[in-house]
Structure 1
Amino acid sequence: MKVLLDTDIGSDIDDAICLAYLLAKPECELLGITTVTGEPERRAMLASALCKAAGREVPIFPGAPQPLLAPMRQPHAPQAAALERWPHERSFPVGRAIGFLRDVIRSHPGEVTLLTIGPLTNIALLFTLDPEIPHLLRALYMMIGSFGRNDAGVRLEWNALNDPHAAAVVYNARPPLHRSVGLDVTLQVRMDAAEVRRRFQTPLLRPVLDMAEVWFQERPEIVFHDPLAAATIFDERICTYERGIVEVELASPRLAGLTHFTPQAGGPHEVAATVDPDRFFEEYFAVTGS
């Protein structure tokens, strides 16, 4: 499975956990990584550290540092504090992330699955630059949004909130398969710090655990938002989906980024409706070997 990853690794720890899974998954041909939002170069360094821990050479390109129009909410990559303890590249091609994504997708029409686990700035720019790109994908999988299941009241999800205008652009695109894994289901896939420390002991997961210690200074657990989205690419039975249409709130400044889902037979979007947490964790740790 040819995969491109767009990530804001360095903020929430689950991006690093997701990348470790993709690097370890035998069926995943990771064609490249682009980073997005504040300090994209330092985020690229974090991705490089994990690639080196996995013994893999993967192209990495820092992308857009700022949202399209919304205020910046995550200007720094706090987990970069762990970089001094892990080998990593320090220099990356700047200003080429969007062109890289475009070239790879055009080189493999109908074959590439694009996985987005951060704000959608890079992807909105890509789809605007080359409107044919969505149709050339195999599939678009995103960790984004909240779609009203198992969730009391209105909830703004971080990736959509960080660049709601980009999210609106991407939801207006029409790839052959457009799946979103939202907070409704990801919040059911959790692990406390003690269990993470016990299980993240393989050579690939030790640098992830080092980054996680920065996370644990303020939080007692990890929610596996992004790894869940990644695992659903390879195991259709982890989540079930409902088809409909997703619209992104832009009119209200207070609610900008809210994702509205309307069930609709034949709609252009699929959103995760249920999750099997045990099946997910079995898949994740079978792949990463912990």
Structure 2
Amino acid sequence: MTTLKVWLDTDIGGDIDDALCLAYLLGQPNCELIGISTVGGEVANRAMVADAICKAAERSIAVYAGADNPIMPSSVYPTPDGASKLVNWPHETTFKASQAVDAMRAAIYGHPHEVMLLAVGHLTNVALLFLLDPEIPKLLKGLYIMSGVFSEELEAAPDMPMANWNSWMDPHACAIVYNTPVAIHRTFGLKVTSQLVLGRSEKADLFATPVMRAVEDFGAPWLEQHVMTFHDPLAAACLFEPELCVYERGSVEVDYTHADTFGQMTFQAGGSDGNHEIATTVDRTRFFEHYFSITGQQKHLL
């Protein structure tokens, strides 16, 4: 497989899955990670977390802090609990908010039709990028997003719509992105990603390498109260192993007008006329075998 240029847009520093996703990309030999941008609440601290994980992997990756707040005013301001672990890891400290969109734009113009944009946080940075420069979507190779639910059973759960965090946190941004045509527009929702729960006892050596030890440390505050679900790593892995999932083509609409269903993403199957693809099933066993094979290739401490 030829090397794929990837830009990661992430709200790393909270749920451990963002860090697990970054570790995968750093270990994937076919990934040329050309940049990382952070979004949503203390973005400079989030950038420091991303930089620290890159340094733990002995990699120098350009990291940019992005949008600190959603497009429309909100009283919700998420903070990265994992940033409390920054004292344990070397990292740069010079990040400033609102630098990401310009950097993303320059990278895409520098590599037209080559960049896969992987968005695993809420979509404020991506929406601002598309609004700033309408040519950008035409220049992307593709857009992979972890967002949405696409399950009536899960939609009825008591923690919805907030559990659909990446859309709920900034539904206006989500709507902008899903109303913008991109050559490949593929989405991984909770219907499939929620199947990827892993107990610590199932993979005792998961955090054995230096980079994975950093992932574990930054994810520790999350793991004190939550299970480990590989939402974001699935979207990353499918950039390189798309057959891990089965997809359906159609159209996605985002609710940004009704308070009780903010961010709800509705999929309408539409055959070849649809602008979007959603993952409908995932091979759980094959996914974890692939993930472990990539992260296990990273260096161990001597």
Normalised TM-score (structure 1): 0.96
Query: 2:287 maps to what in 1?
Result: 280
Runs of 4+ in 1 over 6 A off after TM superposition: none
Matched, 1:249 2:220: no
Query: 2:218 maps to what in 1?
Result: 211
Partners of 2:18 and 2:203 in 1: how far apart? 15
Partners of 1:74 and 1:227 in 2: how far apart? 24
Matched, 1:98 2:101: yes
Gaps of 5+ in 1: none
Deviates more, 1:145-154 or 1:11-20: 145-154
Deviates more, 1:33-42 or 1:155-164: 155-164
Gaps of 5+ in 2: 298-302
Work out whether residues 178 and 253 of structure 2, in 8 Å CA contact, stay in contact via their aligned partners in 1.
Answer: yes
Deviates more, 1:83-92 or 1:33-42: 83-92
Query: 1:231 maps to what in 2?
Result: 237
AA of the residue aligned to 1:165: H
Work out whether residues 7 and 118 of structure 2, in 8 Å CA contact, stay in contact via their aligned partners in 1.
Answer: yes
Cα distance per residue 1:145-202 (max 9 Å; x no partner): 1112774636431100000000000001111000000000000001123446542111
Query: 1:18 maps to what in 2?
Result: 21
Residue in structure 1 matching 2:180, options 173, 192, 208: 173
Cα distance per residue 1:31-62 (max 9 Å; x no partner): 00000000000000000111101111111110
Query: 2:130 maps to what in 1?
Result: 127
Query: 2:42 maps to what in 1?
Result: 39
Cα distance per residue 1:83-138 (max 9 Å; x no partner): 11111111125432111100100111110000000010000000000011011000
Alignment of 1:51-62 (within 5 A): 51-62=54-65
Normalised TM-score (structure 2): 0.92
Instruction: For residue 140 of structure 1, give the secondary structure of its aligned residue in structure 2.
Output: strand
Cα distance per residue 1:222-267 (max 9 Å; x no partner): 0100001100100011011011100001121111100011110120
Query: 1:141 maps to what in 2?
Result: 144
Partners of 2:75 and 2:14 in 1: how far apart? 13
Cα distance per residue 1:4-40 (max 9 Å; x no partner): 0000001111000000000110100000000000000
When residues 16 and 177 of structure 1 are mapped into structure 2, their CA distance, relative to the original with a 3 A threshold, is: same
Identity of aligned residues (%): 48
Root-mean-square deviation (CA, aligned residues, Å) is 1.5
